[in-house]
Amino acid sequence: MSRVPLAALDLVPISTGSSAAEALRNSIDLAQAAERLGYARYWFAEHHLNPGVAGTSPAVVLALTAGATSTIRIGSGAVQMGHRTALSTVEEFGLIDALYPGRLDLGLGRSAGRPKNAGGGPGDSKKPPAEAYRTENGLLIPKKFSFEHLLGSPRFALQKGLLQLPGAESQNYTEQVNDVLALLRGTYRNADGVEAHIVPGEGADVQVWILGSSGGESARVGGANGLRFAANYHVSPATVLEAAEGYRAAFEPSDDLAKPYVSVSADVVVADNEATARELAAGYGAWVRSIRTGAGAIQFPTPEEARAYTWTDAERDLVTDRIDTQFVGSAKQVADQLEQLQEATGADELIITTITHDHADRVRSYRLLAEEWARR
């Protein structure tokens, strides 16, 4: 199974009692550790208005990390295109590629101000399963979680208002992806036939990825353009299979990719034994609850702080799918679950995201998993 690479996804989490500066230093240190441990790539997510997340600008953090590493691929997982333009995105990554060529992954996401005309594909309109179920090999596919209440939350409206200029409308995502590719290739023309050439940026050796949580527009645009695709088991575990299937069904070979390439993410905590790992993962539920209530990610709590929280039944329902699909245990236990995930999804690569309160525990989790994976 070691033939299936492991990658890392980092939100740059801030733990209680810590700071954004310390979180950034920790993430750079973890990227260096991931490089030594043989992880294939190291991605940064983009999130805004979250007290417990410092990763607000993937490009900025990537520029810092590029200088502190030398061989590992680094990238965005993902740039939120709902409030951005193709030009600004290619310019930012072109600048980094100018100094660190051939190492960048440009992951494009559809979130943050999704346009009204984004369109619904089979994955978008599919009704959520009435009950959780398991695949033939035993992978848990939980009941689908609805994110609609988040789209109507005051914080989401505030975020969109602060990220976008007054009166601005997000461009159609499929058009954005096409524009990004054209600008990178130097083939961009507007409706009047006027060319645009970006320096630096045009001709950059950047690997473009599409990230998606369903079999809808993201999966279709990724497949139709022959791009690599990342499906989110750790964010939307109920729809990971339809996302991968939708991408593969839409895939058309490109100059860069002859056949589909799917990476699947998983939330993981590894320790010397299951009891210790579950103790380290104790804060995960409260952290997910803060996100899914629309309040924004809190600073990641200690196990003691997490246990002190009193839960309601409604709050538990908000996080059940994420708790039940987090892989927690010894390196062998977690590696067994990752093999199960890979088999069920047909993933060509697995993306690991781990959050613990203490940085040393987080680094150790990645190390224990990498060592176990290399033995398989």
pLDDT digits (tens, 9 = 90+) for 203-234: 999 999 999 999 999 999 999 999 999 999 99
**Phi/psi class of residue 133: alpha, beta or left (left: φ > 0; alpha: ψ in -120 to 50)?**
beta
Read off the pLDDT band of 130 (50, 70, 90).
low
Read off the pLDDT band of 64 (50, 70, 90).
very high
Determine the Cα–Cα distance for residues 204 and 68; give it in Å rounded to an integer. Answer: 21
Read off the pLDDT band of 240 (50, 70, 90).
very high
The pLDDT score that the predictor gives to residue 129 is 59
Q: Does domain 6-374 have CATH number 1.10.220.70?
A: no
Question: Are 327 and 268 within 8 A, CB to CB?
Answer: yes
* Cβ atoms within 10 Å, residue 191: 5
Whether the predicted pLDDT of 112 surpasses 80? no
The pLDDT score that the predictor gives to residue 116 is 41
Instruction: Give me the phi and psi of 29, to 5 degrees please.
Output: -65, -40
Instruction: Give me the phi and psi of 280, to 5 degrees please.
Output: -65, -30
Dihedral sign from CA coordinates of 105, 111, 113, 118: positive
Whether the predicted pLDDT of 152 surpasses 90? no
CA within 13 Å, CB half, 79 = 30
The C-alpha R_g of the chain, in whole angstroms, comes to 20
Read off the pLDDT band of 35 (50, 70, 90).
very high
The pLDDT score that the predictor gives to residue 121 is 41
The pLDDT score that the predictor gives to residue 125 is 40
Whether the predicted pLDDT of 99 surpasses 60? yes
Closest CA to 10 of 106, 101, 76: 76
Read off the pLDDT band of 2 (50, 70, 90).
low
229 - beta bridge partners?
210, 262
Collapse the DSSP code of 315 into the 3-class scheme (helix H, G, I; strand E, B; otherwise coil) and give the result: helix
Per-chain mean pLDDT for the chain: 93
Q: Which of 161-175, 177-191, 196-210, 330-344 has the least mean pLDDT?
A: 161-175
Instruction: Give domain limits for the chain.
Output: 6-374
Question: Are 349 and 5 within 8 A, CB to CB?
Answer: yes
Collapse the DSSP code of 151 into the 3-class scheme (helix H, G, I; strand E, B; otherwise coil) and give the result: helix
Read off the pLDDT band of 151 (50, 70, 90).
confident
Peptide bond just before 78 cis, omega within 30 deg? yes
Determine the Cα–Cα distance for residues 121 and 17; give it in Å rounded to an integer. Answer: 44
Whether the predicted pLDDT of 127 surpasses 90? no
* Cβ atoms within 10 Å, residue 271: 22
The pLDDT score that the predictor gives to residue 256 is 94
